[in-house]
Amino acid sequence: MTQPHTATPATAPRDLAGYRAVFVHAHPDDEAITTGGAIADLAARGADVLVVTCTLGEEGEVIGETYQHLVADEADQLGGFRIGELGASISNMRARSEFLGGAGRFRDSGMAGSPASRNPRAFVNAGPEAVELLAGILRRERPHLVVTYGPDGGYGHPDHIHAHEIAHAAAEQVGVPRILWAVRLAEGTAALMPDRAPDGWRLPEDGELDGVERSDIRLELNDAAYSAKIEAMRAHATQLWIADGRVSATNPHGALAEGPVVYYALSNLIVQPIQRVEHYQLGAGVPVTDPSGGLLGGIER
Per-residue pLDDT tens over the stretch 73-90: 999 999 999 999 999 999
pLDDT at 14 over 60: yes
Closest by Cα among 189, 207, 196 to 277: 189
Read off the pLDDT band of 1 (50, 70, 90): very low
Q: Whole-angstrom Cα distance, residue 70 to residue 60?
A: 10
Q: 23-59, pLDDT tens digit by residue?
A: 999 999 999 999 999 999 999 999 999 999 999 999 9
153 CB-side CA count, 13 A: 18
* pTM: predicted TM-score of the whole model, two decimal places: 0.95
Class for the domain spanning 3-296: alpha beta
From the number of C-beta atoms within 10 Å of its C-beta (0-12, 13-18, 19+), residue 281 rates as middle
Plot region of 50 (φ>0 → left; ψ -120 to 50 → alpha; else → beta) = beta
Please report the pLDDT score of residue 163 as a whole number. Answer: 98
Percent of the chain with pLDDT over 70: 96
Closest by Cα among 46, 56, 4, 3 to 25: 56
Percent of the chain with pLDDT over 90: 90
In the three-class reduction of DSSP (H, G, I as helix; E, B as strand; rest coil), residue 247 is classed as: coil
What contacts 169, CB < 8 A, 6 or more positions away?
131, 135
Read off the pLDDT band of 9 (50, 70, 90): very low
Please report the pLDDT score of residue 11 as a whole number. Answer: 58
Inter-residue contact 109 to 59 (CB < 8 Å): yes
Find the farthest-apart pair of alpha carbons in the chain and give their distance in angstroms, rounded: 51
Inter-residue contact 230 to 89 (CB < 8 Å): no
Q: 219-262, pLDDT tens digit by residue?
A: 999 999 999 999 999 999 999 999 999 999 999 999 999 999 99
CA atoms 208, 214, 216, 220: torsion sign: positive
Q: Whole-angstrom Cα distance, residue 174 to residue 144?
A: 11
Read off the pLDDT band of 178 (50, 70, 90): very high
pLDDT at 287 over 60: yes
Q: Whole-angstrom Cα distance, residue 283 to residue 167?
A: 10
Domain locations in the chain as residue ranges = 3-296
Q: Whole-angstrom Cα distance, residue 233 to residue 33?
A: 6
Read off the pLDDT band of 7 (50, 70, 90): low
Read off the pLDDT band of 115 (50, 70, 90): very high
Please report the pLDDT score of residue 293 as a whole number. Answer: 87
Please report the pLDDT score of residue 10 as a whole number. Answer: 46
Inter-residue contact 230 to 262 (CB < 8 Å): yes
